[in-house]
Amino acid sequence: MKTEGKPPKPLRPPLHPYIVLLIAVFLPGMGQVTNNTPGRGFTMVSFMILLGWVTYYTTTPDHSFLGRYAGGFFVYSISIMDAYRWARYRWAYFKNSAE
């Protein structure tokens, strides 16, 4: 296949980290998907469900909603930070490699 004479395709920049952060807050696991790591997003959602289920059955009905699903909320908060961290890394890498 010949590529002579054709200009190279411009690189498409990654999404801004703040957009990825908003996606991660409102759609659990989708922040990782927007960072092109869908396996990581699936893993995060799986552990949210698993640990939410475990903490639900290991607490008493006297606990609050947040207390009953504390394991799931813990993984949810970590997934938000993880998505933002990798989005920030990808953004900085793209900006530095474009210069």
For 36, the domain range is 17-98
Per-residue pLDDT reduced to its tens digit, 42-56:
999 999 999 999 999
Is residue 11 one of the residues assigned to a domain? Answer: no
DSSP alpha helix (H) spans, the chain: 17-26, 30-34, 38-58, 65-68, 70-98
Q: What is the number of residues in the chain? A: 99
9 found inside a domain: no
11: enclosing H helix or E strand: none
| pTM of the predicted model as reported, rounded to 2 decimal places | 0.85
Q: Does some domain include residue 8?
A: no
Within a domain: 64: yes
> Is the residue at 70 inside a domain?
yes
Can you tell me whether residue 85 is helix, strand or coil? helix
Q: Is residue 30 part of a domain?
A: yes
Q: How many separate domains does the chain show?
A: 1
Question: Per residue in 72-98, pLDDT tens?
Answer: 999 999 999 999 999 999 999 999 987
pLDDT at 99 over 80: no
24 vs 81: CA distance, rounded Å: 9
7 domain residue, yes or no = no
